[in-house]
Structure 1
C-alpha cells in the first residue's frame, strides 16, 4: 500500500488521539471510586444487618418489659383485692389466714418480678445505646458511599467531556486519510491496540522492539510513500528524520 509521506505522518496525530481515547476507556473501568463504592456497599450492608439484629433484640426486650409490667400489675391488683377483703371484716378466721399466706406469696412474687423487670430494663437500656451507636455507624457508612458516588460521578463527567472532545477530533481527523490507509490503521489498532507509531532510531514506537539489520534494510530501501509495518506488532511505522534511515 502506498500513501503520501505527509499523510502517513498525520497518522501519528490520529494515534495520539486514539491513545487518549483508550486511556479514557481504561480510566473509566478502573476508577478507584468504583472499588471504593463496592467496598462501601459491603460495609453498608454489614451495618444495616447489624442494626437490624440489634433493633430486633430491642423489640424483643421491649415486649418482655411490657409483659413483665403487665404481670406485676396483675399481682398488685390481686394484692389490693386481698387487702381490701381482709379489711372488710367479712371473712372468717380460716379465710383470713389463707389471705395472709397468699399476700406473702404475692409479695415474694412481686419482688421477684420487679427484680426481673429491673434486669430487663437495664438490658434494654444497654441495647438502646447499641441501637443509637448502630444508627450513627450506618449514617457514616451511607455518607461514605454517597461521597464516593459523588466523586465517581464527577470523574465520569470529566472523562465524558474529554471523550466527547477527542471523539470529535478523531472524526474530523479521519477524513484526512485515504479509505484503504484508514481501514488498515483501524484494523491493526483493533487487534493490537496501536495502529501507527513513529520509527525512531531503528525502534518501533508501538512495541518498542529494535529492528534487526535485515528488516531495517528493507525499510531503508522502501519508497517514501510505501506504507511499512512492524514485523513484530504489525503497527504502521511512520518514517521521519528521527528514524535513523
Structure 2
C-alpha cells in the first residue's frame, strides 16, 4: 500500500488519540472506587446476615419473656383468688390447703421472676449486639455511598475527556486516505495498536529490533510505502527520528 509520508506520520497522531481513548476505557473499568464499592456491598451483605441473626435472637428472647410474664400474671391472679378465699375464712383444712398453695405459688412466682430477670439480662446483651451490628451497617453504607459519589465524579470526568478525544479523532481520520485508515483500524482492532514509530532499528509496536535483511527492507522501502512489521504486522511509521 502507498500513502504519502505526511499521511503516515499523522497516523501517529491518530494512534495517540486512540491510545488515550483505550486508556480512558480501561480507567473506566478499573476505577479503585469500583473495587471499594464491591467490597462494601459484600461487607453490607454479610452484616445484614449478622443483623438478621441478632434480630432473631432478640425476638426469641422477647417471646420467651412475654411467655414468662403471662405465667407470672397467671400465678398472681391465682394468688389473689386464694388470698381472698383465705381472708374469707373457712374450715381449718381448707385454710391449711390455701396456705400451702399460696406458699407453692410464691415459690413458683419467685422462680418465674428469676428466670425472667435472667432472660432480660440476656436480651439486653442481645440488643447491644444488634445495635452494634446496625451501627457497623450504617458505617459500611456511608462508606459505600461516599465511594459511589467518587465513582460518579470520576466517570463524569472520564466521559468528558472521552467526548473531547472522540471529537478530535473524527477530523484526523477524515483527513487521511480511506484505505490507510481502514488498514490501520483493522490492525488496531486485532492488536490494540495500529501504527507505531520505527526508531533506532526497532518496531515501536512489538519492540523487536530489526537486523540484516529485515532492516534493509525497511531502509530500502520508498518513502510512500506503508511498511509493516514482519513480527507484529503493525504499520511502522518512518520519520526523522527513525535514524534511517
- Indicate the TM-score class for this superposition, using the shorter chain for normalisation: over 0.9
1:112 aligns with 2:80: no
Residue 163 of structure 1 corresponds to 162
Q: How does 1:38-53 map to 2 (within 5 A)?
A: 38-53=38-53
Q: Distance in 2 between matches of 1:160 and 1:24?
A: 9
Residue 59 of structure 1 corresponds to 59
Q: How does 1:20-31 map to 2 (within 5 A)?
A: 20-31=20-31
Matched position secondary structure for 1:234: coil
Q: Distance in 2 between matches of 1:45 and 1:52?
A: 11
Q: How does 1:1-245 map to 2 (within 5 A)?
A: 1-89=1-89, 91-245=90-244
- Which of structure 1's runs of 4+ aligned residues deviate more than 4 A? none
Q: Distance in 1 between matches of 2:141 and 2:11?
A: 48
Quote the offset at 1:99 in angstroms. Answer: 0.6
Q: Distance in 1 between matches of 2:171 and 2:94?
A: 110
Quote the offset at 1:135 in angstroms. Answer: 1.0
Quick check: 1:44–1:141 contact (8 Å CA) kept in 2?
yes
Quote the offset at 1:111 in angstroms. Answer: 0.6
Task: Compare 7-16 and 62-71 and name the one that shifted more.
Answer: 62-71
After superposition, the C-alpha distances for 1:115-140 in whole angstroms (9 at most, x for unaligned) are 00100110111111111111111101
- TM-score by length of structure 2 reads 0.97
Unpaired stretches in structure 1, ≥5 consecutive residues: none
Aligned residues: 244
After superposition, the C-alpha distances for 1:16-51 in whole angstroms (9 at most, x for unaligned) are 000001111111121121121111111000111111
Quote the offset at 1:75 in angstroms. Answer: 0.5
After superposition, the C-alpha distances for 1:80-115 in whole angstroms (9 at most, x for unaligned) are 1111111112x2111111111101110110010010
Unpaired stretches in structure 2, ≥5 consecutive residues: none
Matched position secondary structure for 1:198: strand
Q: Distance in 1 between matches of 2:52 and 2:153?
A: 33
Q: Distance in 1 between matches of 2:218 and 2:132?
A: 73
Q: Distance in 2 between matches of 1:206 and 1:155?
A: 30
Quote the offset at 1:181 in angstroms. Answer: 0.4
